[in-house]
């Protein structure tokens, strides 16, 4: 069902009947809620300043050596900027007057804590009290500092305070702490790399000296040797491969060393003030099966790439394709590493103190460390795959040197060791220089573009928010309360209202005020003049007659009950005029006054009072119900005698069905009046005895929910509902319809 069929009548009903209620409810809510919102949104004056910084983001490609690329992804740097540890450092470095401003002029209100403390007081428990440092930290993070970034890494720092000087202090201290924190992280990271590279340079230097002495000794003992030309290309390629392999091995060791140092730092980060000794370096966790599988696939791709680079140039499509596949495989390894980290349990080191404020310290302070761990671990797996591919290539090239003599093989090995050591020594020397540069803080990640501007007074965002919420609440109440009342008491007005219940509309009968509501024959209506209420009224019953005739074509019905949910909805008037409409069509019609509690058909038709339905119900022998003629082709079966103690109980017997069948045998159609189906149970017994039922609803009076309830009651009785007649519809609406369509048609027909 389309929701618009339900919403539209409610909106139109509120507009027609409950406009005043909506206006008064809105004004009352405004007068009550707006002053309350104004009072609750009191806060100190606000001064706001802005500062702009640039965060160097990480390149698109993950470099193998992080020493030469200290920049990190923008989300990582924003996590650093918003972390709790940065905020704590800002609190520690702020002037005392600025910290007092955070405590004495708060903007942020922890409503959840206030409700919790109210409940604790109600239960007789002591409330939770935050320390001054916790309150200052929460105030700073929640309401005093804000950060807006764009994809290029430009970050706007917004600081607010009750005085201009405090706002400037917050912005400046945030920038200073971020610069210091970033530089400290780079120095610590570079120191680890520098110390390891220095150790590696010493070892490579010793190895180079040993290899060089061995080569000179071999040359002195055997003289100069020359590798045959058919093997020279293989030897040259093997030398390059071994040199590259040595470089990759060194890179892997550096990355593993930095990874181990970062893991240790990640464990000590949650409790920097703990007096306990730092925990030992964690053992490397086992590689998950998924990462092992991806690394094997990456090794195969690296092997294919090495073979292709021997035969093709770097721009060859096959080389480009394999490089793209290698990039995708590295991204998959990075995702697998992240999944492995997310499933690994996180435990605080021994001696660490829990965060009493309830803040997730690990997730705030270690966000950038976790990202660095992912990058480094991904690099390690990539280097392992390259190392394995190069080792396989070197093994294959060594097998191709089987045609050399023993001395030539030894000479070739010594030359390759010297060249490999020289190349590795040069690479490590360059790395050492880069690590020293970064350790001195020369490679900055954070750059200040604009320092804090002169603060300006700004309106209270809290007050504006509260007032907006108050007006919104007033609008909701002003529209919602009338809408709820309209939904609960929504009357039937149009055919769409009946469609929501699931019943067809047989006719729409107008309200008649200028004359008695009586069916007029065609000869009694002047169609050339103004469309009168009598004309519209009569045409509605002709349409109702046609609708019933079409409905009875598939299943014959001789007895029809006309009822309504509640009294005063016009069911008796509809029944009487429907009988006149069928009589006009030369049907023999019997109208039965079966509303035993309040019979009205006899009075309306001024029929003589004689024996009727009550007498037939109590007769000891079967007898016909007397019928009184009331119009051409229409007879009345009156109630008859007064009700007896057991009259209503007789409606549940087969005698009622026998009486109805007797009347149906003497006429073409029997129309039965009844009591309201939701008010008296008599109507349900009658509904079960007749062939079909017509429900009458008064426009603007009968509620949709009452009509739906009447439908459910009749269906439970097992009767067939033909449809609904909407009675007492304003004549103006029908008159517009007939004036537009029906009247021009009649005029053209009479000319």
The DSSP result for 623-685, as a single string, is -PPP-EEEETTEEEE---SPPPTTHHHHTTSHHHHHHHHHHHHTSSEEEEE---TTT-THHHH
Q: What is the pLDDT of residues 133-185, one digit of tens each?
A: 999 999 999 989 999 998 888 999 999 999 999 999 999 999 988 888 777 76
Query: Could you tell me if 634 and 580 are in contact, meaning their C-beta atoms sit under 8 angstroms apart?
Result: yes
Q: Are residues 618 and 579 in the same domain?
A: yes
Contact 677, 710 (CB under 8 A): yes
Asked if 383 and 463 sit in the same domain, the reply is no
Are residues 554 and 592 both part of a single domain? yes
Is residue 182 domain-resident?
no
Are both 377 and 397 inside the same structural domain? yes
Among 190-204, 544-558, 567-581, 617-631, top mean pLDDT goes to 567-581
Does residue 68 fall inside a structural domain?
A: yes
Q: Please classify residue 236 by burial: count the beta carbons closer than 10 Å to its beta carbon, then call 0-12 exposed, 13-18 middle and 19+ buried.
A: middle
Buried b (16+ CB within 10 A) or exposed e, 201-218: beebeebbeebeeebeeb
- Long-range own/partner contacts, residues 408-412 (CB < 8 A, 24 or more apart): 408/225, 408/227, 408/228, 408/231, 410/218, 411/218, 411/219, 411/222, 411/225, 411/227, 412/227, 412/235, 412/238
Does the structure show a pLDDT above 50 at 62? no
Q: In whole angstroms, how large is the CA radius of gyration of the chain?
A: 47
Residue 532 lies in a domain: yes
Residues 432 and 320 in one domain: yes
Q: Domain check: are 587 and 693 in the same one?
A: yes
What confidence score (pLDDT) does residue 69 get? 47
For residues 250 and 398, membership in a common domain is answered with: yes
* Backbone dihedral angles phi then psi of residue 698, each to the nearest 5 degrees: -90, 125
Residues 325 and 463 in one domain: no
* Distances from the Cα of 262 to the Cα of 132, 165, 267, 340, 370, angstroms: 33, 38, 9, 17, 9
Check residue 68 and report its DSSP letter.
Answer: G
Domain that holds residue 44: 34-175+453-478
For residues 314 and 561, what is the distance between their CA atoms, to the nearest angstrom? 92
Pair 102, 155 in one domain: yes
Please check whether residue 8 lies inside any domain of the structure: no
| pLDDT band, residue 668 (cuts 50/70/90) | very high
Could you give the number of structural domains in the chain? 3
Asked if the structure places residue 260 within a domain, the reply is: yes
Instruction: Assess whether 306 and 376 both reside in one domain.
Output: yes
- Cβ(87)–Cβ(102) below 8 Å: no
pLDDT of residue 361: 40
From the list 241, 385, 248, the residue with the least C-alpha distance to 309 is: 241
Residue 284, pLDDT above cutoff 60: no
Q: Give percent of the chain with pLDDT exceeding 70.
A: 83
Pinpoint the alpha helices (H) of 509-632: 533-551, 571-584, 601-605, 613-618
Is the domain of 127 the same as that of 73?
A: yes
Q: For residue 721, what is the domain's CATH number?
A: 3.40.50.300
* Beta strands 46-55; 154-161: pairing state: antiparallel
Mean pLDDT of 687-691: 91
Mark whether 648 and 522 lie in a shared domain: yes
182 versus 39: the higher-pLDDT residue is 39
User: Can you give the pLDDT at residue 590?
Assistant: 93
Residue 135 inside a domain? The answer is yes
DSSP run (H or E) holding 323: helix 317-343
Q: Is residue 676 part of a domain?
A: yes
d(CA 285, CA 573): 90
pLDDT digit string, tens, across residues 703-722:
888 999 999 999 998 889 99
What are 603-650's pLDDT values in tens digits?
777 666 677 888 888 887 777 888 888 888 999 988 877 777 777 778
In a domain, residue 187? The reply is no
Cβ-proximal residues to 320 (8 Å cutoff; 6+ apart), any chain: none
* Mean of pLDDT values over 486-496: 82
- Alpha-helical segments (H) within 130-163: 132-139
Name the band, by pLDDT with cuts 50, 70 and 90, for residue 730.
confident
- Rounded mean pLDDT, 552-578: 89
- Measured between alpha carbons, how far is 189 from 103 in angstroms, rounded to an integer? 37
């Amino acid at each position: 069902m389309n929701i618009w069929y339900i919403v539209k009548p409610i909106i139109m009903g509120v507009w027609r009947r409950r406009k005043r209620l909506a206006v008064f409810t809105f004004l009352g809510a405004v007068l009550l809620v707006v002053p309350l919102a104004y009072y609750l949104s009191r806060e100190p004056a606000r001064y706001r300043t802005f500062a702009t910084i640039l965060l160097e983001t990480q390149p698109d490609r993950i470099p193998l050596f992080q020493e030469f690329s200290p920049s990190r992804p923008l989300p990582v740097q924003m996590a650093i900027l918003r972390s709790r540890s940065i905020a704590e450092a800002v609190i520690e470095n702020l002037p005392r007057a600025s910290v007092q401003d955070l405590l004495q002029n708060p903007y942020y209100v922890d409503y959840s804590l206030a409700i919790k403390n109210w409940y604790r007081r109600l239960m007789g428990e002591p409330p939770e009290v935050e320390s001054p440092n916790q309150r200052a930290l929460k105030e700073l993070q929640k309401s005093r500092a804000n950060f807006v970034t764009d994809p290029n890494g430009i970050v706007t720092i917004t600081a607010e305070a009750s005085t201009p000087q405090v706002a400037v202090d917050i912005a400046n201290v945030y920038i200073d702490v971020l610069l210091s924190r970033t530089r400290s992280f780079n120095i610590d990271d570079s120191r680890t790399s520098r110390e390891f590279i220095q150790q590696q340079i010493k070892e490579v230097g010793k190895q180079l000296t040993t290899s060089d002495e061995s080569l000179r000794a071999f040359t002195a003992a055997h003289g100069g040797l020359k590798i045959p030309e058919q093997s020279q290309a293989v030897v040259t390629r093997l030398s390059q491969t071994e040199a590259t392999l040595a470089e990759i091995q060194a890179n892997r060791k550096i990355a593993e060393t930095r990874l181990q140092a970062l893991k240790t730092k990640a464990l000590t980060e949650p409790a920097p003030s703990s007096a306990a000794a730092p925990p030992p370096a964690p053992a490397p966790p086992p590689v998950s099966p998924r990462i092992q599988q991806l690394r094997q696939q990456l090794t195969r791709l690296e092997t294919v790439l090495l073979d292709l680079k021997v035969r093709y140039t770097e721009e060859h499509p096959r080389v480009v394709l394999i490089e793209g596949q290698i990039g995708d495989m590295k991204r998959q390894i990075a995702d697998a590493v992240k999944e492995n980290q997310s499933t690994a349990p996180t435990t605080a080191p021994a001696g660490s103190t829990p965060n009493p404020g309830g803040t997730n310290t690990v997730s705030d302070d270690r966000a950038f460390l976790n990202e660095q761990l992912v990058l480094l671990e991904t690099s390690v797996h990539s280097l392992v795959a390259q190392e394995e591919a190069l080792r396989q290539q070197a093994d294959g090239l060594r097998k191709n040197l089987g045609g050399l003599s023993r001395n030539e093989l030894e000479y070739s090995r010594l030359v390759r060791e010297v060249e490999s050591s020289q190349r590795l020594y040069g690479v490590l020397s360059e790395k050492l220089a880069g690590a020293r540069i970064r350790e001195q803080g020369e490679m900055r990640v954070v750059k200040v573009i604009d320092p804090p501007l002169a603060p300006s007074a700004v309106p209270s965002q809290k007050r504006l928010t509260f007032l907006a919420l108050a007006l919104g609440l007033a609008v909701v109440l002003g529209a919602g309360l009338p809408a709820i009342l309209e939904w609960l008491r929504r009357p039937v007005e149009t055919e769409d209202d009946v469609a929501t219940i699931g019943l067809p509309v047989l006719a729409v009968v107008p309200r008649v005020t200028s004359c008695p509501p009586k069916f007029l024959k065609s000869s009694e209506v002047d169609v050339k003049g103004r469309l009168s209420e009598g004309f519209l009224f009569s045409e509605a019953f002709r349409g109702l007659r046609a609708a019933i005739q079409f409905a009875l074509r598939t299943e014959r019905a001789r007895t029809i009950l006309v009822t309504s949910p509640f009294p005063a909805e016009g069911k008796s008037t509809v029944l009487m005029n429907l009988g006149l409409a069928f009589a006009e069509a030369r049907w023999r019609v019997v109208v039965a006054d079966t509303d035993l509690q309040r019979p009205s058909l006899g009075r309306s038709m001024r029929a003589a009072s004689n024996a009727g339905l009550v007498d037939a119900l109590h007769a000891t022998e079967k007898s016909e119900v007397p019928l009184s003629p009331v119009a051409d082709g229409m007879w009345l079966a009156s109630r008859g005698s007064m009700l007896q103690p057991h009259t209503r109980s007789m409606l549940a017997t087969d005698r009622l069905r026998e009486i109805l069948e007797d009347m149906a045998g003497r006429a073409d159609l029997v129309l039965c009046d009844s009591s309201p189906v939701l008010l008296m149970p008599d109507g349900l017994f009658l509904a079960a005895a007749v062939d079909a039922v017509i429900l009458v609803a008064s426009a603007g009076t009968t509620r949709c929910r009452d009509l739906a309830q009447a439908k459910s009651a009749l269906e439970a009785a097992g009767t067939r509902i033909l449809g609904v007649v909407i009675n007492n519809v304003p004549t103006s609406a029908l008159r517009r319809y007939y004036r537009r369509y029906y009247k021009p048609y009649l005029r053209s027909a009479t000319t």
